[in-house]
Structure 1
Amino acid sequence: MQPGLTSPPPLLPEILRLNARWRSTSPALVSDHETLSWAEFHRRTNALANSLAACGLNPGDAIALVMSNSVDMAVVIAAAIKAGLVTAPLNTSILASAMISMIGDAGARAVIASPVFAKGLETAAAGGGYELPPLRLLDRGNLTGWRTLSSLIEESSSAEPDWTPHRDHPLNIIYSSGTTGMPKGILHTHGTRLDWAYDLAIALRYHSGARTLVTLGLYSNISWVMMLCTWLCGGTLFIRESFSAADMLEQTASNGITHTAMVPVQYQRILDDPAFDPEKLASLQYVMSCGAPLLPYTKSAWLEVCPGVIELYGLTEGLITTLDPEDAPGRLASVGKPVAGTDIKILD
């Protein structure tokens, strides 16, 4: 008997490269300001990955992200994945002094910020006797002592980065919301993030035609669900700078959005918005609710609009259950079942 062809399973850098090869002209990222095809997304992230390495950052180094939702932030995350850097995206709604503590906790060797946050970081660092990492980058605009992302991308080659990933290499640090005390940094590796993305892409029914609307900050693990599942399948991310119910309705109707993920209060605000019209949500296939229980009356109303409502319960550390739409009728308060290939044991 002849053995079958075998090869190491691809990790995220290779998956992104293959999407650029086979889906080169399909849109990868869309915002109000620009649209990047998979080929352009690949070129831009390669150039930034190479430039960050040229700046002295090495695989395993952490970079803190204090950025507004944008195509630039998604590019930075993908570039870091390709360069072996560890992104620590920070919640931009917290105090700058708390961000400084997290930057120090992550051991960040670089910080990438939007101008609206950069000056506050400088002030908080100076006031607390801290020093920001020496490599400071702005996603747009100008500020003394900071370089621009665009200049780094323009200066560098878009050749494949000279780094080979492995499953145990760290990929990102997600900081918890601090509901159980001080926010804590949770480290994910390339292997665990990929396994997590495969599990959730199956559970949330992503596919290559997914047109995913991101309305929560890309510092949130909820947004990472959408981002990684969409990238894994070669779909399209529509990135919004912030959320409003009216904008979500308009974006879904005009762009044929198929997938999204939101917290329960967003679902209720959409139902309550004067512009609400079920026809505007007709393209939705599957939507995820998480972060808090989705109240039965809200869930029932949404199941009338979109039969593919999937409620997720889980921790950033990894435990996940989903209540599938097929199981929801009569069990609206259930936390569902473990995602495929996992099990749960409840201990007293």
Structure 2
Amino acid sequence: MPKPTQEGIDHSNRFITEEKNYNRDKLREDHDEWVNKMTSEQKGIYDEIIGAVLENSGGVFFVYGFGGTGKTFMWKTLSAAVRMRGLISVNVASSGIASLLLEGGRTAHSRFGIPIHPDDFTTCHIVPNSDLANMLKEASLIIWDEAPMMSRYCFESLDRSLNDVIGNVDGKPFGGKVVVFGGDFRQVLPVIHGAGRAEIVLAALNSSYLWEHCKVLTLTKNMRLMANDLDKDEAEKIKEFSDWLLAVGDGRVSEPNDGEVLIDIPEDLLIKDVNDPIEAIIKAVYGELDLLQPNNDPKFFQERAILCPRNSDVNTINDIMLEKLNGKNYVLIL
């Protein structure tokens, strides 16, 4: 058999090619539109971060804001501002679902090769002079969404790896790259099996040595309340629910308190007067149970979900739901 020739083979860095494979004209058009929609505090944060990118001065920022303040909108606009200039913006998130909201997003573990069990001494699986290492060297901005839910050792492992790969001699964190974290510490913190409050707090990002290098930029305005298509009653309900969530997250419920209180759930969020709670919540989310058989609308299940705090609840509800669907069950054995 004849040997294949090298002609036509692309020897370029696939990571760099992937990160630069964007329509710059379309990005510029979208970017200009999004910048005009920014609030004053969003524009201030945008100017500071993009200024650090263009000046190549490095810096670590944490964009802190509760749900609805426009963090994802910020990531989209920042990425467009970098990519329309032909530069690289690496977008990652702590979970797969959150990464889907980012243009070109990946999970942090996938993109950086973070060890499954990181500690004080681990580094990421980034081989010096590899395609991934060279892409990270060339990157102008790293955006990491939902950062508070990751262990601080993940960020420290990336810091050690970038300093090693880039050859940082200035002592700047992350090899002198501009890194933007985002999230809300009121939400899910690192999940550690069998850990108590102290262990979880000590594993959070703001317990890391990197936190002293972070400049915290705060978003406070609820963008969902500023939508033009909301009527007065709907806007009032969203505001009331948002304020209640913030009060719970800030520990302002049933003040004065010592940090442990009973939280009264608003009446409109409760499902009452039921004999079987699981059947009741399925009915509340999916409607009458006989509507499940059959339902040919592909968006019917995509637009509905039941979130559970424990895996045992997930398994119970999944078993009940599968029993109500027509067709055969298939078990995938890995």
- Fold match (TM-score > 0.5): no
Q: Is the strand fraction higher in 1 or 2?
A: 1
TM-score (norm 2): 0.29
TM-score (norm 1): 0.28
